């Protein structure tokens, strides 16, 4: 933990308050979602998704990444504050001389300041790939649970060597009356793959359908990472902690609305879905204290920030942006959709930019 970091008491206090606010606001947004009219809900989600993308990416690029590479370090400019001009010149000359010596002695394994920044930024890229494969694994498990469920027959090879199950190779399905029914196909002749909406009772785990369990598990991991992001940011400065909290709130609102809709659609009541959502949100406190414990070391603190930046960029650009582009194909006119999304992008950017521009008010 660096010497100019905030006191541990305030880190824990504001961290716990921030995680609590994020959890409660997320549940509040989830409650508001079902009360919206269908058209209004769709349009509000356009705005909130765009604002979430903008706040997450702006926080990562404008605040977190510069902190990772040391561009926002506030302690560097004060080390020579009480020294005279002659001593300052000596320090400058000595630094220049050592810099030339360092260039002469650089080996492939030498960790220079430039290489250290490269390693720190590489953690951002690595965290993006890790999050991608976590989501890929969860999607694979969703498909696997469907095809391995007792109600789904496994493919059986016919004597001709062609795999078959309930349908023949031409995509025609026979029903009980011997009549044939053509199954829907995608372009290119591939059959559409649909996840089962109604699983058998035997496929439930702890009374929950696999789809609901996957949503809750993913939400728990998601909230854990959010807690790490908030904790790591508060370990650097209170300003960065507040900015990161705002970014997390903005992307949690549409995320929780979508999760609640899936849980209710899987057969849960509103009360049960809210309780389970709240329980999954408690993992954010675990992430917060993990960041506080590990962040006592300055280098670990920087690595946690790099992971936070990678997570924010992945969620914003790879995850939420794809949903935003997909939702743009809905019934609204393209002009209405463009205005909603542009408004969300603008509000999110100005919010994070303004917090950075007037950061002296937060620190003062």
H, E, C per residue of the chain: CCCCCCCHHHHHHHHHHHHHHHHHHHHHHHHHHHHCCHHHHHHHHHHHHHHHHHHHHHHHHHHHHHHHCCCCCCCHHHCCCCCCHHHHHHHHHHHHHHHHHHHHCCCCCCCCHHHHHHHHHHHHHHHHHHHHHHHHHHHHHHHHHHHCCCCCCCCEECCCCCEECCECCCCEEECCCCCEEECCECCCCCECCCCCCCCCHHHCECCECHHHHHHHHHHHHHHHHHHHHHHHHHHHCHHHHHHHHHHHHHHHHHHHHHHHHHHHHCCCCHHHHHHHHHHHHCHHHHHHHHHHHHCCCHHHHHHHHHHHHHHHHHHHHHHHHHHHHHHCCCCCCHHHHHHHHHHHHHHHHHHHHHHHHCHHHHHC
pLDDT on residue 292: 92
What pLDDT sits at residue 159? 41
Residues 229 and 308: beta-carbon distance below 8 Å:
yes
Task: Give 302's pLDDT tier (boundaries 50, 70, 90).
Answer: confident
pLDDT at residue 195 in the model: 41
pLDDT category of residue 6 using cuts at 50, 70 and 90: confident
Which residues, in sequence order, are CB contacts of 201 under 8 Å at separation 6+? none
pLDDT of residue 171: 44
User: What pLDDT shows up at residue 201?
Assistant: 44
pLDDT at 285: 95
Res 364: pLDDT: 52
Q: How far apart are CA 307 and CA 100, in angstroms?
A: 33
Please report the pLDDT score of residue 330 as a whole number: 61
pLDDT band at 234 (very low <50, low <70, confident <90, very high): very high
Residue 51: the pLDDT is 86
| CA atoms within 13 Å, Cβ hemisphere of 148 | 8
- pLDDT digit string, tens, across residues 67-97: 888 765 544 434 444 444 544 444 444 444 4
| Whether 226 contacts 237, CB under 8 Å | no
Q: Rounded to two decimals, what is the model's pTM?
A: 0.62
* Residue-level pLDDT at 111: 81
pLDDT for 16 equals 96
Beta-ladder partners of 56: none
Q: Distances in Å between the alpha carbon of 18 and those of 6, 11, 53, 86? A: 16, 10, 20, 47
Q: Report pLDDT digits (tens) over 12-66.
A: 999 999 999 988 876 776 666 666 666 677 777 778 888 888 888 888 888 888 8
How many CB atoms within 10 Å of residue 85?
Answer: 8
């Amino acid at each position: 933990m660096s010497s100019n970091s905030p006191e541990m008491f305030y880190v824990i206090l504001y961290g716990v308050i921030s995680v609590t606010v994020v959890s409660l606001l997320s549940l509040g947004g989830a409650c508001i979602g079902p009360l919206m009219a269908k058209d209004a809900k769709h349009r509000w989600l356009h705005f909130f998704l765009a604002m979430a993308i903008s706040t997450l990416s702006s926080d990562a690029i404008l605040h977190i990444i510069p902190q990772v590479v040391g561009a926002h370090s506030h302690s560097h400019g004060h080390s020579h504050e009480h020294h005279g001009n002659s001593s300052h010149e000596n320090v400058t000359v000595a630094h220049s001389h050592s810099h030339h010596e360092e260039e002469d002695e650089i080996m492939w394994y030498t960790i220079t300041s430039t290489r250290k920044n490269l390693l720190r930024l590489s953690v951002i890229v690595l965290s993006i790939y890790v999050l991608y494969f976590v989501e890929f694994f969860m999607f694979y498990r969703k498909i696997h649970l469907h095809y391995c469920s007792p109600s789904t027959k496994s493919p059986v090879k016919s004597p001709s060597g062609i795999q078959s199950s309930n349908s023949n190779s031409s995509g025609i399905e026979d029903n009980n009356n011997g009549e044939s029914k053509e199954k829907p196909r995608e372009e290119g002749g591939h059959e559409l793959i649909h996840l089962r909406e109604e699983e058998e009772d035997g496929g439930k785990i702890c009374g929950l359908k696999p789809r609901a369990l996957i949503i809750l598990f993913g939400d728990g991991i998601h909230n854990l990472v959010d807690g790490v992001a908030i904790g790591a940011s508060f370990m650097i400065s209170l300003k960065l902690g507040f900015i990161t909290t705002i970014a997390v709130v903005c992307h949690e609102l549409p995320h929780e609305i979508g999760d609640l809709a899936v849980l209710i659609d899987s057969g849960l009541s509103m009360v049960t879905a809210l309780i389970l959502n709240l329980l999954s949100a408690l993992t954010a406190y675990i992430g917060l204290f993990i960041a506080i414990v590990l962040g006592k070391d300055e280098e670990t603190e920087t690595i946690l920030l790099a992971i936070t930046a990678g997570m924010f960029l992945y969620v914003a650009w790879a995850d939420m942006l794809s949903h935003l582009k997909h939702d743009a194909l809905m019934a609204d006119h393209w002009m209405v959709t463009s205005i909603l999304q542009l408004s969300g992008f603008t509000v999110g950017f100005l919010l994070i930019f303004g917090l950075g521009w007037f950061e002296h008010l937060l620190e003062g």
